[in-house]
Amino acid sequence: MELGFIAIGAALAIGIAAACAAIGIGIASAKAFEATARQPEMAGKIQQLLFTAIVFIEATAIYALVVSLLLIFVFK
Amino acid sequence: MLLSLAENYIVELLRALNERFVEEIKVGDIGEGIKEAISSHEFAGIDISGFHFSITHTVISMWLAMILIAALAFWMSRRFEEIPRGRQIISEGFVDLMMNLCKGQHMTEDQAYKVAPFVGSMGVFICISNCFSVFKISPPSKDPVFPITLALFTIVYVIFTGIRLVGIKGFWKSLTYPKAALLPFRVLDYFIKPISLSLRLFGNIFGAFILMEFIYIIVPFIVPGVLGIWFDLADGILQGAVFAYLSVVYIGEIIEGAHSKA
């Protein structure tokens, strides 16, 4: 395959996934801060839930990173 | 006088940087350097009845981490006193942290006491082996074999511990608790969990490792030391903590499902 197409593919893969994961983490944290402001006594529980959610959202970006690294180092 | 000296120095530095960027480093060199860094060299191999066990960088750094942790554990648990001080505070604090993490996920004191040792040692092993990249020793997680092994091991442990803590009936209930129709998805979940665990660890560490190699090649002074604090130390410790936390969450899910009323 042509090297240029692979480079564009890798860049698109990580770029789109990172943008979407950033939006997802932004929404999740915004809601968590709102909830904490409304019920400050639940802060510990909310923080734990937010941490779990962020770990799972971040995983999607990491999958894209693995895919783009595979594209760069394996398919060429 | 002093100002002009400083100006001269800055101009010299910029010129040196410029030479390094434009004249010495070519795109091909960077690619070659990174490829050299991520390839795993085989030091020795043993053939046992058809299977080839190769000893690579990964295995060597794993052994190093194991020796380090064994020495640390030996040293941290010597001569305990009734009133903790010094290193005893750290070791007791760590045990307390693991117990609280387990108790936060629907576990009783007794159950947390059974789960905490495995999860804690897994977390410490991953944290310490990830931090190796600060000293330019390649971290074992950069090789996909290491995270996959740990994740498979962990998921088997999660299933068996779930059965041990709540019994086979409770485990079945956790698989089917609101409706029996959810069973295939719950079973599928146990195949997705190890993939997610291993890819998360591998992707994070491998990505950070390649980024750091890239920075080492283009700017080999000051900058890698500063960025390494985040990409090597903080990220590595965070990923170890996430691995331990997620395995506790998975066990907690089984216990929660077994005790649900439905």
B18-to-A29, A40, B7, B10, B109 alpha-carbon distances in Å = 42, 53, 16, 12, 62
In this model, does residue B55 exceed pLDDT 60? yes
In the CATH hierarchy, which fold is given to the domain comprising A3-73? F1FO ATP Synthase (1.20.20)
pLDDT digits (tens, 9 = 90+) for B182-223: 899 999 999 999 999 999 999 888 888 888 888 887 777 788
Q: pLDDT tens digits, residue range B120-150?
A: 999 999 999 998 888 888 888 888 889 999 9
Question: Residue B260: what pLDDT?
Answer: 79
Instruction: Report the pLDDT value the prediction gives residue B149, as an integer from 0 to 100.
Output: 92
- What pLDDT, on the 0 to 100 scale, is given for residue B48? 80
The predicted-structure confidence for A5-49, as pLDDT tens digits, reads as follows 888 999 999 999 999 999 999 999 999 999 999 999 988 889 888
Average pLDDT (B26-50) is 72
The Cα–Cα gap between B106 and B104 comes to 6
Average pLDDT over residues A37-65: 89
Q: What percent of chain B has pLDDT over 70?
A: 95
- Reported ipTM: the value is 0.79
Q: Report which DSSP code applies to B104.
A: T
What does the pLDDT average to over B224-244?
89
pLDDT above 80: residue B95: yes
Looking up tokens 């795109």 gives B27
pLDDT score of A1 = 62
Q: What is the pLDDT of residue A17?
A: 94
Residue in A closest to B197 by C-alpha: A59
Res. B24: pLDDT tops 60: no
Q: What is the pLDDT of residue B206?
A: 87
Picking from A48, A55, A65, the nearest residue to B207 by CB comes out as A65
User: What DSSP element (H or E) covers B53?
Assistant: strand B51-56
CB pair distance less than 8 Å for A59 and B199 = yes
What is residue B22's predicted lDDT score, i.e. its pLDDT?
59
Contacts of B208 (CB under 8 A, 6+ apart): B133, B231, B232, B235, B236
The yes-or-no verdict on residue B23 having pLDDT over 60 is no
Q: What percent of chain B has pLDDT over 90?
A: 29
What local confidence, expressed as pLDDT, does residue B76 receive? 86
Each domain of chain A, given as residue ranges in start order, spans 3-73
Mean pLDDT along residues B91-107: 89
Chain B interface, Cβ < 8 Å to A: 35, 38, 104, 196, 199-200, 202-204, 206-207, 210, 242, 245-246, 249
- Choose, out of A46, A56, A65, the residue to mutate when testing the contact with B (most B CBs < 10 Å): A65
Q: Pick the residue with more confidence: A27 or B261?
A: A27
Interface test with B, best of A6, A51, A55 (most B CBs within 10 A): A55
Stated as kind and residue range, the H or E segment containing B48 is strand B42-48
Q: Which two tokens stand for residue B54?
A: 């190769």
Is residue B21 over pLDDT 70? Answer: no
